[in-house]
Amino acid sequence: MDLDSLVHYAKEFLRLNSANPPGCEEESVLFLESFLKKEGIESEIFSPAPKRANLYARIEGKRSDMPLVLLSHLDTVPAKPEEWDVDPFGGEIKDGFLYGRGAIDMKVQALCQLFAFLEIRKERFIPEKDIIFLATCDEETGGKLGVKFMLEKKEILSEADFVLSEGGFIIEDGGQIHAQISVTEKKVSQFFIKAKGKGGHGSTPHKDNPNEKVIEAAQRIISYKWPIKLYPVAIKYIDGVMKGKRIENFEYIDLKSALKKKSFLSFVDDSPHINALLRNTVTCTILKGGEKINVIPVEAEAYFDARILPQERQNKFYSKIRRIAGKKVEVIPIGESSERAYYSNYRTRYFEAIANGIRELFGPIPVLPYMTTGATDLRYFRSLGIPAYGFFPIVLTKDEIMRMHGVNERISIENIKRGYEGMKNILRALLSFK
Ligand SMILES: [Zn+2]
**Mean pLDDT in each 10-residue stretch from start to end of the chain (434 residues)?**
96 98 96 96 97 96 92 98 97 97 98 94 84 97 96 97 96 93 95 97 97 98 98 97 91 96 95 96 97 97 97 96 98 84 92 92 95 94 95 95 95 97 91 80
Residues 170 and 93 placed together within one structural domain of the fold: yes
Ligand 1 mean position, distance from CA 138 (Å): 10
C-beta atoms surrounding 259 within 10 Å:
13
Q: How many Å apart are CA 298 and CA 340, to the nearest integer?
A: 38
pLDDT recorded at residue 249:
84
Look at residue 247 and tell me if it is in a domain: yes
pLDDT recorded at residue 431:
84
Ligand 1 mean position, distance from CA 376 (Å): 6
Look at residue 147 and tell me if it is in a domain: yes
| pTM of the entire predicted model | 0.92
End residue of a domain, out of 333, 368, 399: 333
Residues 236 and 327 placed together within one structural domain of the fold: yes
Residues 28 and 157 placed together within one structural domain of the fold: yes
End residue of a domain, out of 333, 360, 382: 333
Residues 17 and 166 placed together within one structural domain of the fold: yes
Residues 240 and 287 placed together within one structural domain of the fold: yes
Ligand 1 mean position, distance from CA 321 (Å): 28
Residues 134 and 213 placed together within one structural domain of the fold: no
pLDDT recorded at residue 261:
95
Residues 29 and 165 placed together within one structural domain of the fold: yes
- The number of domains in the chain is 2
Look at residue 120 and tell me if it is in a domain: yes
pLDDT recorded at residue 122:
86
Look at residue 251 and tell me if it is in a domain: yes
Ligand 1 mean position, distance from CA 266 (Å): 30
What residues sit around ligand 1, an ion, with C-beta below 5 angstroms?
Answer: 105-106, 166
- Check which CATH number belongs to the domain holding 249 and give it: 3.30.70.360
Look at residue 182 and tell me if it is in a domain: no
Q: Which domain holds residue 211?
A: 187-333
Ligand 1 mean position, distance from CA 106 (Å): 5
- Check which CATH number belongs to the domain holding 123 and give it: 3.40.630.10
Residues 83 and 52 placed together within one structural domain of the fold: yes
Ligand 1 mean position, distance from CA 262 (Å): 35
Ligand 1 mean position, distance from CA 371 (Å): 14
Ligand 1 mean position, distance from CA 133 (Å): 16
Residues 211 and 313 placed together within one structural domain of the fold: yes
Residues 157 and 214 placed together within one structural domain of the fold: no
pLDDT recorded at residue 107:
98
End residue of a domain, out of 333, 352, 386: 333
Residues 209 and 253 placed together within one structural domain of the fold: yes
